[in-house]
Structure 1
Amino acid sequence: MTETLDPAALRQWWPKPSMPRPIVIFGAGSIVGDAHLPAYRKAGFPVAGIYDPDHAKASQLAESWGIHAYRTEDEALAVKDAIFDLATPPSAHAAILGRLPVGSAALIQKPMGSDLAAATEILEICRARKLKAAVNFQLRFAPMMLALKDAIARGYLGEVVDFDAWLALATPWGLWPFLKGLPRIEIAMHSIHYLDLVRGLLGNPQGVHAKTIGYPNHDVAQTRTAAILDYGDRVRCALSVNHDHDFGRKFQACEFRISGTAGAAYVKLGVNLDYPHGEPDELWIRPAGGDDWVEVPLQGAWFPDAFLNRMANLQRFATGEDEELIGSVEDAWQTMALVEAAYQSSAAPATAIAALPGQ
C-alpha cells in the first residue's frame, strides 16, 4: 500500500562531500557566471581558479567572483587533487581531457562532443586515462527532478506509462555566439537535457521518431523539434519543442506531464521562461489514492541548484563516498546515441501518404 504523500519529505538535495576537492574551471562563458560559480559558492565548494584562452575574459569573471584566473593551461592542470570542470564548447573537450592527470575527476559540459563519433572519442580518452568523468546533464539533479524520481520510487504514480514534454517559448540563442554556424543545435544543445532525463526515468528506448527544423526568421540551424520515443506498447513518450513562440508570455509553456497507472505529476521548468532570469520551477503530484493535486514546496531551482547537486555526486564519487557516478561518460554516451538516432530519423525520408483512388 502506498504511503500518504508528504511533499516536504521528498528528496531534493544530493548529500555534500565531507572533504570537497578544489574545482578548476575551463571556460569563462556565460553559463559559468550564471550557474557554475553561483552553485559552487552556495554549496561551499572551493574553486581554485578558472582558465580560458581569452585571459582578459577569464580575469574579468574571476575578479567578480574573487577567484584566480590562470594564465596558462599548464598552470590550471597542475592543481593537485582537483576536480576539473570543463565548461567548454564540445569541440574543445577531447583535447583538454587528453591532458588531464591520469585518474583525475572531471565534469564535462554537455553535449559529449559534437556528434556520436566525437562522444566515442571522448569515452575512449576517459577510459584510457582512467578518468572519473561525468557529463553535465544536470537536469536529473534539479530539486524538482530529484523529488519527482523519489515520488516515483515511493509508488505515488504507480507504473509510469506516459511522458509528455511541451515547450512553446522564446529562447535567446544570441547568448551563445559559439552556436553560430553549427549544423546541430536544438536536440544536441537543448532537448538533449530532456532525452537524458527520460532515460534516467524510463531507461533506454527501443528507437526514436523525430523531426527537427529551423525557423524562417533567423539562421540558427534548428529551433523546433517533434519527437516520439519508442518504449513499446505500454509507454507513450512525446516531446513537442518550439523555441520560436515569441508572442508574449501569455500562452508560452515549458512543462512536463508524467502519468502513471495510479497517479500523475506536473513539472514547470521555470528557467526557460524569460531565460536567463526565469520563473520559479513547480512540481505538482496527484498521488495514488489521492483526490487532488498537491504542490511540492521546492527548496531550489534548476539553475543553479542542479549544478550544485551534480558536482556533489562527482565529488563524493571521486572520494569514495558515493558508489555510483550518475551520468558517467559510459551512461552519457547512451544519451548521445539517442541524440544521434533522433538526427538520423529527422534526415530520413518520411513515409509517403497514399493518394486517394482516382487521383
Structure 2
Amino acid sequence: MGFTQNWPRPEKARPIVIIGAGGIVVDSHMPAYRQGGYEVAGIWNRSRDRAEAVAETFGIPKVFDSIEEVAAQKDVIFDLASSHHVHADMLEKLPDGAPVLIQKPLGVDLAEASRILEICRRKSLTAAVNFQLRYAPMMLAVRDAMAKGFFGQLTEIEVHLNLVTPWHLFPTLERDPRVEIVSHSIHYIDLIQSLVGLPKGVVSRNYSYPGSKLTDTRTTAILEYDNDLRVTLSINHHHDFGRSHQDSSIRFEGDEGAAVVKLGVLLDYPHGEADELWMGKRGGPMEQVPLAGHWFPDAFEMIMNNMQRFVSGEDDVLMTNIESAWQTMAIVEACYASANRPLEPVPNLSKGAS
C-alpha cells in the first residue's frame, strides 16, 4: 500500500529563530530540525538561563537578549514556541510580513484566536499553527489514501483514548479554565477538520477527575456531518490500570476500506511506543503498513518543510495556515459551548410521566 508518508524538504531553506525554550523545543522542535538539516540561528526565552541551556545542548550559536533583538533578524523563519498566553504580544513585536510558525493552540478560546488572526492579517504575517499531527507519516498516508479513493465513501472516524497522561509535566495548565480539548484533543479535531471539513454542529461533554487540579481531562464529543459520516471522540486520560486495556487510536472506515492508526507516543508518554498504521479492504484482513517515521519528531520536521517550501514558492499551500487554524478553534469553541448547554431530560416514572 504505497501511500505518501512524507513532505519533501525545501531546495533552499531559511535559518530558524526560536522564541521559547520549553520542553516541546527540547523534545520535538530541535530534534526535528536537526534531523531535517535546518540551521537554527538563535533562540530567545524570558529566562535566559533556560535559553542558554538549550543552546548549549543543541549547539545553537546565538542566545538573544530581547524579543526586539529577535525581531531584528532578517530572512529567517520565526518559530514561536512559547506559551499561548503570550503569543499575541510576541506576534505584535515581529516585523511586518515575516513568516512565523506558531505553537498550538491558537489561544485558549475563539476570542484569543480571533485577536491573533487579526494581528497576523494586519501585519501581513505568513503564519501557520503547529498542528503537526496532520504531518505525521501515518496521517499523511491516510490523507493520500483518502484522496485516491481507498476508503470509498467515508462512514466513520473514531478517536479513542484510554490511557494515563502525566499531567504533572504541564503545571501551567492548572491555571487554564479549559484544558483537555484546547490543549490535547484539538490535535484530533484539527486533523478531522483538515480531512473532511467543518462539521454542521457538535455535541460535547467535558469531565474533571477526582483529585486532579485541572479543570477537565476527559471528553466525549460528536461532530455531525452529512452523508452518513459518524465522527466521535472518546477521551480518558486516567486509565491507570496497567497497559493491557490502554488504547490510543484513530479508526477511519468507509464502505470499501479502513485504516487504524496507533498514536504510540501517548502510551507511556513521553517515552512512548512505536506508531502503527493498519489498512485493509472490505472482506479482507487488515495489514500493517511500514512507516517511514513517527509523529514525534518527524511531523515537526514535515510542518517546517511545508513552511519553508511555501515561503520559497515551492509549495502553493500552507496547510496549517492561520485561517485553517482559526476554523479548528471554532470547532473547539463549539464543543465548549455545547458542554455548557443542558441535555434533554429523561422522563422519571417515580416523578410521574405524562
For residues 126 and 287 of structure 1, the distance between their equivalents in structure 2, rounded to whole angstroms, comes to 44
**Any conservation in 1 of the 2:68–2:93 contact (CA below 8 Å)?**
no
Question: 1:18-40 deviations in whole A, cap 9, x for unaligned?
Answer: 11101111111101000000000
Question: 1:159-208 deviations in whole A, cap 9, x for unaligned?
Answer: 11111111001001111122122111000000000000011111100011
**Any conservation in 1 of the 2:67–2:93 contact (CA below 8 Å)?**
no
Q: Is 1:110 aligned with 2:104?
A: yes
Q: Is 1:139 aligned with 2:118?
A: no
Quote the offset at 1:213 in angstroms.
1.3
Partner of 2:335: 342
For residues 264 and 309 of structure 1, the distance between their equivalents in structure 2, rounded to whole angstroms, comes to 25
SS at match of 2:112: helix
Quote the offset at 1:357 in angstroms.
7.5
Between the two proteins, the alignment pairs up a number of residues equal to 351
Partner of 1:184: 178
SS at match of 1:85: strand
Quote the offset at 1:156 in angstroms.
1.5
Quote the offset at 1:74 in angstroms.
1.8
1:50 corresponds, among 37, 43, 53, to 43
Give 5+ residue unaligned stretches, structure 2.
none
Partner of 2:63: 69
Quote the offset at 1:121 in angstroms.
0.6
For residues 75 and 166 of structure 1, the distance between their equivalents in structure 2, rounded to whole angstroms, comes to 44
Q: Is 1:269 aligned with 2:263?
A: yes
Partner of 2:277: 283
Quote the offset at 1:287 in angstroms.
2.8
Quote the offset at 1:129 in angstroms.
0.7
For residues 84 and 287 of structure 1, the distance between their equivalents in structure 2, rounded to whole angstroms, comes to 43
Partner of 2:216: 222
Inter-CA distance 357–171: structure 2 relative to 1 (3 Å threshold): closer
SS at match of 1:12: coil
Q: Is 1:205 aligned with 2:199?
A: yes
Question: 1:230-256 deviations in whole A, cap 9, x for unaligned?
Answer: 113511000000001111111100001
SS at match of 2:175: coil
Deviates more, 1:170-179 or 1:330-339: 170-179
For residues 241 and 41 of structure 2, the distance between their equivalents in structure 1, rounded to whole angstroms, comes to 44
Partner of 1:4: none
For residues 358 and 171 of structure 1, the distance between their equivalents in structure 2, rounded to whole angstroms, comes to 42
Quote the offset at 1:131 in angstroms.
0.6
Q: Is 1:156 aligned with 2:150?
A: yes
Deviates more, 1:20-29 or 1:231-240: 231-240
Partner of 1:322: 315
2:89 corresponds, among 65, 90, 95, to 95
Q: Is 1:27 aligned with 2:20?
A: yes
Partner of 1:296: 289
TM-score normalized by the length of structure 2: 0.97
For residues 332 and 56 of structure 1, the distance between their equivalents in structure 2, rounded to whole angstroms, comes to 32
> What amino acid sits opposite 1:46 in the alignment?
E
Inter-CA distance 102–358: structure 2 relative to 1 (3 Å threshold): closer
For residues 173 and 116 of structure 2, the distance between their equivalents in structure 1, rounded to whole angstroms, comes to 20
> What amino acid sits opposite 1:172 in the alignment?
P
> What amino acid sits opposite 1:70 in the alignment?
F
Question: 1:88-111 deviations in whole A, cap 9, x for unaligned?
Answer: 111111111111111110001111
TM-score normalized by the length of structure 1: 0.96
SS at match of 1:180: helix
**Any conservation in 1 of the 2:15–2:40 contact (CA below 8 Å)?**
yes
Q: Is 1:310 aligned with 2:303?
A: yes
Question: 1:240-274 deviations in whole A, cap 9, x for unaligned?
Answer: 00001111111100001111011111110000001
SS at match of 1:156: coil
Question: 1:200-237 deviations in whole A, cap 9, x for unaligned?
Answer: 11110001100011101211111100000011351100
Deviates more, 1:64-73 or 1:35-44: 64-73
For residues 103 and 70 of structure 1, the distance between their equivalents in structure 2, rounded to whole angstroms, comes to 21
For residues 220 and 111 of structure 1, the distance between their equivalents in structure 2, rounded to whole angstroms, comes to 17
For residues 86 and 297 of structure 1, the distance between their equivalents in structure 2, rounded to whole angstroms, comes to 33
Q: Is 1:84 aligned with 2:95?
A: no
Task: Give 1:243-258 correspondences, 5 Å limit.
Answer: 243-258=237-252
Quote the offset at 1:349 in angstroms.
1.4
For residues 85 and 356 of structure 1, the distance between their equivalents in structure 2, rounded to whole angstroms, comes to 59
RMSD after superposition: 1.2
SS at match of 2:253: strand
